[in-house]
Amino acid sequence: MNLPVLPTTTVGSFPKPDYLTKARFQFSKNQISKTELEELEKKATKEWVDFQEEIGIDILVDGEMYRGDMVTYFAENFKGFEISGLVRSYGNRYYRKPVAVAEIERVNPVTVEWFKFTQSLTQKPVKGMLTGPYTIMDWSFDEFYPTRRDLCLRLAEVVHDEAKDLEEAGAQYIQIDEPAVSVRPEELELAIEAMGIVTSGLKAYTLTHICYGDFPKIYPKMLDIPVNQIDLELSNNEFDLLDLFKKAPFTRDIGLGVLDVHSHRTETKDEVKARIQKALKFIPKEKIYVSPDCGLKTREVEEAKAKLRVMVEATKEMRETLG
Amino acid sequence: MALETTLAGAYPKIGDSTEEQKLRRALHQFDKGEISEEDLDLIKNGVTEEAIRQQIEAGLDVVTDGLIRWDDPLTYLCRNITGFETSGLLRYFDTNTFYRQPIVESRLEWIKPILVSDYQFAQAKSTKPVKAVLTGPYTIAKLSRNRFYREFKQLAFDLAHIIHKEVEALEAAGCRYIQLDEPAILNHKHDFNLFLQMYEIVAAQLSKAEKTLQLNFGNLEGLYPKVLNIPVERLGFELTKNHKNWDVIKSAPFTKKMMAGVVDARNTKMESENDLVQAVHQLGEYTSLEQLWLSTSHSLEFLPRSNARKKLELLASAAKQLRGASVS
């Protein structure tokens, strides 16, 4: 893998262009066919790949044009899940939760064809993108397994199979997102055990993304999550997290979140550089990957692009100063 | 009085049918400026009535207004308390739901009743007694960001006085059941002495309404039995199958009325009526069943409305069976 120092990447999702949002709605009303929808998903994927190449991102993603919710997408493709009625998350936002109603099984690979398609569009490495077993368990109802642990460990096996298939299809990087991990410190052990099952025997470089939560309660224990890199949301939290690293060094590679994905405002290059500088005080440059705080799907297409441009340009300038 | 049933707070704001999604559509239209705040309030009133009706249809004995107007457990109260600003979204305990964090910018003050008109509206629409539900002062203080008070204690005591005034106003309006939610104390058990002092302020001279202290999102280990010293009449907590609280309450006699959260409001899996009957028989060893409230473990907003209704129907049907058995 020929990567520059401070490789740039993204957390996974990009905003869907308007034509795709419209097509997804039409598909849900049976107004267009699955094939017609897929053509547009591919078109949007190609546009995002072209954009990532154009601005010079080092490790690409497919942008998840074909996914809705990160947990529901997998639940819909695994056997043993049903999808619930609407549950509120905040304000006027509702989502449907998966319900485990039978033994969870992966009948066919879920993301492999999309990985292959995306990798065929570029010479640069494309990351395989999965949602982790702990998060799928935590964000689902469970009417089948006796305990949370049982469901979580079963999902770990299923996600492992998917990761294996991605690796065989050529994925050099596999990201297994666990945003729910920071929420229940008492279950961190379970999340670690489950990730151990997912990454067991993989040769690919593995990473996990964790969103903001009660980090002081899970740090440094979270460094035991068996992956090569932990990608963290940092900008949203004004980099308070780095203070934790003073107490115990961050021993994994870090995916350094330098863009606040919840804000409409585009960061300046100086802000991004300052964030990288700050991290460099605690973590050697060889261990730092630069990325946004989280998936960018909630931003407008142009907002996301502007933010990413600044991120890549600022990182390039940093590289020069580092020699 | 015999065993009664209630829910632990909010009722789902929307259901899966188009008819049951009025509020979602109205909020959307309101955001786009297509309807006025008055129009939106009318919709909220209608959905509140619907929530009350569905609770009564399910067979509950004590209902709530469904907290249909509440964005989250903090914002609805805090934006009516002078001194608070609200900010970004934070996760609410270990759920996948969020609240806007209140920020204390200046001395907090209670200006006028916050929930009284909601209570009056709901009670006028209900044939069953309406329980007012509000987040307690400790949890508000703990989940807020303090930019004003030098010490947490000062913030906590000011909030205790504010909630005291609100409870007093609800009592004066005729409300006979008031539930105070204090999940945060279960994560900060070392603050118990402060918590007790706060509740002496909250409850001072108030005796008309029955006050329930609701303690969920955790267990009472380390707080029980001293939590029985809090000056409220009823204590609510989680008693779902195999919950740690079953062990905790064995350690000392239960000297208050109980609101037993026997139905899991965070999972769609249905308890069996038999499970609930067994649970109540077991509770009979610790508390008088005559004064027992059976309830959901949490607010029902973590469930889709159709599942929430089924859980309430189950609760009512188990209670009916139990009451029948005690008569014969």
Half-sphere exposure at residue B261, Cβ-oriented, CA atoms within 13 angstroms: 29
Q: Is the pLDDT of residue B221 over 50?
A: yes
Nearest CB partner across the interface for A94, out of B14, B72, B89: B14
Q: Which DSSP helix (H) or strand (E) runs through A154?
A: helix A148-168
Q: Within the 21-80 window of chain B, which residues sit less than 8 Å (CB to CB) from chain A?
A: 24, 27-28, 31, 71-72
Q: What is the pLDDT of residues A313-322, one digit of tens each?
A: 999 999 999 8
Contacts with A91 from chain B: Cβ below 8 Å: 27, 71
Q: Is the CB of B301 less than 8 angstroms away from the CB of A89?
A: no
Q: Is the CB of A86 less than 8 angstroms away from the CB of B97?
A: no
The pLDDT of B178-192, averaged and rounded, is: 97
Q: What is the pLDDT of residues B293-309, one digit of tens each?
A: 999 999 999 999 999 99
Q: How confident is the model at residue A232 (pLDDT cuts 50, 70, 90)?
A: confident
| Strand-pair partners of B84 | B104
Q: How confident is the model at residue A213 (pLDDT cuts 50, 70, 90)?
A: low
Tally the residues of chain B. 328
Q: Produce one character per residue of A132-171: b if its CB has 16 or more CB atoms within 10 Å, e if not.
A: bbbbbbbbbbbebbeebeebbbbbbbbbbebbbbbbeeeb
Q: What is the pLDDT of residues A147-195, one digit of tens each?
A: 999 999 999 999 999 999 999 999 999 999 999 998 888 999 999 999 9
User: Max alpha carbon distance in chain A (Å)?
Assistant: 57
Poorest-pLDDT segment among A231-245, B38-52, B239-253, B265-279: A231-245
Q: Is the CB of A141 less than 8 angstroms away from the CB of B269?
A: yes
Q: Which residue carries 């996990």 as its tokens?
A: A208
Q: How confident is the model at residue A101 (pLDDT cuts 50, 70, 90)?
A: very high
Nearest CB partner across the interface for A86, out of B16, B89, B96: B16
Q: Is the CB of B307 less than 8 angstroms away from the CB of A213?
A: no
Q: Is the CB of B301 less than 8 angstroms away from the CB of A88?
A: yes
Q: What is the DSSP-derived secondary structure letter of residue B36? A: -
Contacts with B101 from chain A: Cβ below 8 Å: none
Contacts with A92 from chain B: Cβ below 8 Å: 24, 27-28, 31
Q: How confident is the model at residue B328 (pLDDT cuts 50, 70, 90)?
A: very low
Per-residue pLDDT, A215? 78
Domain A43-69+109-322 classification at class level: alpha beta
Q: Is the CB of B91 less than 8 angstroms away from the CB of A213?
A: yes
Average pLDDT value for chain B: 96
Q: Is the CB of A89 less than 8 angstroms away from the CB of B72?
A: no
Integer Cα distance of B103 and B100 in angstroms: 9
* B12 at interface of A, judged by CB pairs closer than 8 A: yes
Which residue, B57, B62, B175, B197, is CA-closest to B117? B175
Q: What is the CATH number of domain B4-327?
A: 3.20.20.210
The pLDDT of B213-240, averaged and rounded, is: 97
Nearest CB partner across the interface for B24, out of A87, A94, A184: A94
- List Cα–Cα distances, A170 to A42, A119, A127, in angstroms: 19, 9, 10
Which chain A residue lies closest to B15 (C-alpha atoms)? A86
Q: Produce one character per residue of B80-108: b if its CB has 16 or more CB atoms within 10 Å, e if not.
A: bbebbebeebebbbbbbbbbbbbbbeeeb
Residue A45, amino acid: T
Residue A123 CB neighbour total at 10 angstroms: 7
Per-residue pLDDT, A236? 65
Q: Is the CB of B89 less than 8 angstroms away from the CB of A184?
A: no
- What ipTM did this prediction achieve? 0.91
Integer Cα distance of A297 and B145 in angstroms: 29
Contacts with B47 from chain A: Cβ below 8 Å: none
Contacts with B268 from chain A: Cβ below 8 Å: 84, 99, 141, 143
A206 backbone dihedrals φ, ψ, rounded to 5°: -110, 145
The pLDDT of A207-219, averaged and rounded, is: 83
Poorest-pLDDT segment among A235-239, B106-110, B132-136: A235-239
DSSP states along B205-255: T--SSEEEEEE-SS--TTTTTGGGGSS-SEEEEE--TT-THHHHGGGS---
Sign of CA dihedral B17, B23, B24, B29: positive
What are the residue ranges of helices labelled H in chain B? 22-31, 37-58, 75-78, 116-125, 137-143, 152-172, 192-203, 245-248, 273-283, 305-327
Integer Cα distance of A10 and B13 in angstroms: 36
Residue B72, amino acid: D
Tell which wins on pLDDT, A216 or A70: A70
Q: Is the pLDDT of residue A1 over 90?
A: no
Residue spans of the domains in chain A: they are: 43-69+109-322
Q: How confident is the model at residue A290 (pLDDT cuts 50, 70, 90)?
A: very high
Q: Is the pLDDT of residue B327 over 60?
A: no
- Copy the structure tokens of residue B150: 């030098």
- Copy the structure tokens of residue A141: 């109802």
Q: What is the pLDDT of residues B128-161, one digit of tens each?
A: 999 999 999 999 999 999 999 999 999 999 999 9
Q: Is the pLDDT of residue A261 over 60?
A: yes
* A213 at interface of B, judged by CB pairs closer than 8 A: yes
Which residue, A176, A269, A254, is CA-closest to A215? A254
Q: What is the pLDDT of residues B53-95, one digit of tens each?
A: 999 999 999 999 999 999 999 999 999 999 999 888 888 998 9
- Using only the alpha carbons of chain B, give its radius of gyration: 19
Tell which wins on pLDDT, B93 or A241: B93
Q: Is the CB of B97 less than 8 angstroms away from the CB of A89?
A: yes
A144 backbone dihedrals φ, ψ, rounded to 5°: -115, -50
